[in-house]
Structure 1
Amino acid sequence: MAEAAPPGGAAVAVAKRVVERMLWSRVTVQRKLGGERPLPSAMPHTDVLRDAAAWQAAVAECRRLKLPLHRDKPKNWDALGAVATVLNTLGRASSVLDAGSARYSSVLPWLRLFGLSDLVGNNLEFGDDVRRDGVLFRYGDITKTDFPDGRFDAVTCMSVVEHGVPIEPFLAESARIIRPGGVLVVSTDYDQDPPDTTGVTAYGQPVHIFSPDDIRDFVKTAEKHGLVLKGELALEHAERPVHWKRTGLDYTFIRLAFDRA
């Protein structure tokens, strides 16, 4: 399979490849030198990033656990919450798909450092299969995969669904490939009063920041497919602690976790 054209052009692709290589080299060394890593402190399974203090606390926890930080520091908050939900709900023997993954993003490297070995990332940008420290990255559409029913204990999907992903097909496919008793964790851009994004695009898609009504609809659609929200849905936030320099937008993140009934 041919390599898909990278968003941002060749220079950005090279920079991402450098970051990826450095990240996985560090993971390999840390995993071989370290013993069993303590589990992350419990975090709400479903939550809104309400202020800068919350992502700063997540960064401090990552440093305590010796996890390589994502360079976009607020993203450590949603990744850490997803990893905490997987580990504290399902344990270290879990099989996990990171849907819409990037090889330089945090969830799969961190799970590998916690000892998980059945880890897969898929993305329409990927070409031939690539392995990094035993983690498989392969081409795939997160709304229509070729995995068998119940293949995974957990699916994570970090900051992907806002980029034009059809929500109901994604949730239906996630429910199909997660075993009963497993979990889905999704994060996305969110604001209780979203800024106007008319005419703003990124990665070839209109920029979308989810509103409270969007999130309620997301949860209702998930329920239709046997995915039951873990925790409480409280949608208010005091600050907009996320700034996307490329678009000039200020907003926040939301993280949603679901049990597969």
Structure 2
Amino acid sequence: MTGPENSPSPAPQVAAPPGGRLLAVAKIAAERLLWARVAVQRRAEARKAVTRQPPTTVPPTDVLRTSAQWQAARDEARRLRLPLHRDLPKNWDALGAVGAVLSLAGAGGAQALNVMDAGSARYSPVLPWLRLYGLGSAPGSLLGINLEFGATVHRDGVAFRQGDVTATDLPPASLDAITCMSVIEHGVPLKAFLAESARVLRPGGVLCVSTDFDHDPPDTQGITAYGGPVRIFGPDDIRAFIADAGAEGLELVGDEPGLQHAERPVHWKRTGLDYTFILLTFRRI
């Protein structure tokens, strides 16, 4: 008889698969529809000389504490005529990142900025929104990289190509801003990512990072998604990340946020987990 000490370990709990080929096709369709809308809307607004105020609802550094906060971000995105992310809480960190890029990195004129979305998805909102704000006129000035990308794809002047967020092959000090939305929790080597971000950002450039967070993280042991273990950052993880960023010359914008939150306004259906998001913005010293 097998004793407890020799019992086989329980099989890891794997999140439901992303949906296979049908979902992949749906994502491609959604991506093409999104970028077609951006191109048409951008040209129409250019003809009418439409101006759009930068978003102000979400601070550059903050914790999503309640559902009311992501709802306010969604409402502001609608008022600004920005196409919404279908996962509605994700509009909160995207709006904060876009606001930070425009207000903090755009001192010399936002339309001339070079911005990279690290770990990008072609259907995520940051680069489409920046395009609607007039960025991306110069070839290569808006870039999305992801290890999973194959051949380079262009969408309304934005280039999406294969790339490693810890080794981008970009020249030093070549970027005005980097956004990285809900990526670092998926097994990214954090110190290497921060070092590379500091290398490619110009002095005064900004790095906007969001990630899954909880002041008392749920147990995710054995839960995997996207080919790796699921991780939800806790307060100690965030403090260590801020300290590591500082060691690379990346200074937190604003005060370290209070890391308590009244609600868990994010629900990940595939894993059954409830938690929240944190947005951290750094300036390259």
* TM bucket normalised to smaller: over 0.9
What residue in structure 2 maps to residue 141 of structure 1?
164
**Hey, what's the Cα distance between the residues in 1 that align with 2:188 and 2:44?**
39
Q: Which amino acid aligns with 2:181?
A: M
**Hey, what's the Cα distance between the residues in 2 that align with 1:8 and 1:175?**
36
Query: Which portions of structure 1, spanning 4 or more consecutive aligned residues, are displaced by more than 4 angstroms?
Result: none
Distance 1:42 1:70, change over 3 A: closer
Quick check: which has more Rg, 1 or 2?
Answer: 2
Distance 1:44 1:216, change over 3 A: same
Residue 67, structure 1, aligned to residue 67, structure 2 = no
Q: Spell out the pairing of 1:160-199 with structure 2 (5 A cutoff).
A: 160-199=183-222
Give 1:151 shift: 1.1
Residue 13, structure 1, aligned to residue 24, structure 2 = yes
Q: Which amino acid aligns with 1:21?
A: R
Q: Deviations over 1:174-229 (max 9, x none)?
A: 00011011000000000000000011000011000000000000000001100010
The sequence identity of aligned pairs, in percent, is: 66
What residue in structure 2 maps to residue 3 of structure 1?
none
Aligned-residue CA RMSD (Å): 1.2
Give 1:43 shift: 3.2
Return the TM-score normalized by structure 1: 0.96
Give 1:45 shift: 1.2
Cα contact 2:58–2:73 (8 A) shared by 1: no
Q: Spell out the pairing of 1:122-161 with structure 2 (5 A cutoff).
A: 122-161=145-184
What residue in structure 2 maps to residue 215 of structure 1?
238
Distance 1:244 1:238, change over 3 A: same
Residue 251, structure 1, aligned to residue 270, structure 2 = no
Q: Which amino acid aligns with 1:102?
A: A
Give 1:42 shift: 5.5
What residue in structure 1 maps to residue 7 of structure 2?
none
What residue in structure 1 maps to residue 124 of structure 2?
105
Alignment gaps of 5+ in structure 1: 1-5
Alignment gaps of 5+ in structure 2: 1-16
**Hey, what's the Cα distance between the residues in 2 that align with 1:119 and 1:231?**
26
Q: Deviations over 1:137-160 (max 9, x none)?
A: 010010111100011000000000
Return the TM-score normalized by structure 2: 0.88
What residue in structure 1 maps to residue 56 of structure 2?
41
